[in-house]
Amino acid sequence: MSKAREFIDFWTENSIHAVEQYRTAGASQDVAELSRRLVEAAKGQDISEADLQAEIGEISDYIRDRLKAANKAESERWKPS
């Protein structure tokens, strides 16, 4: 696994979260903001934006997909059994 991929996986796990239920304040759902944060955090680890894109393609599309997955998993969790 590449350094960039390891970083992406770690950052995603710790930075992308579902919106909280019942309209309480939750994690950011702003794709542009999260994309910017990922790029900035990666730079701090000497990982370029090009390295990120080589691993995941378009960063904003990747972030959007991860948010959708997190939100779907959260909504499924709240469905009555």
Q: How does pLDDT run across 17-48, given as a tens digit for each residue?
A: 887 755 555 566 889 999 999 999 999 999 99
pTM of the complete model: 0.83
Mean pLDDT of the chain: 88
What's the confidence (pLDDT) of residue 27?
Answer: 61
The better pLDDT of the pair 12, 76 is held by 12
Q: Report DSSP letters for the chain, one per residue.
A: --HHHHHHHHHHHHH--PPPGGG---S---HHHHHHHHHHHHHHTT--HHHHHHHHSSHHHHHHHHHHHHHHHHHHHHS--
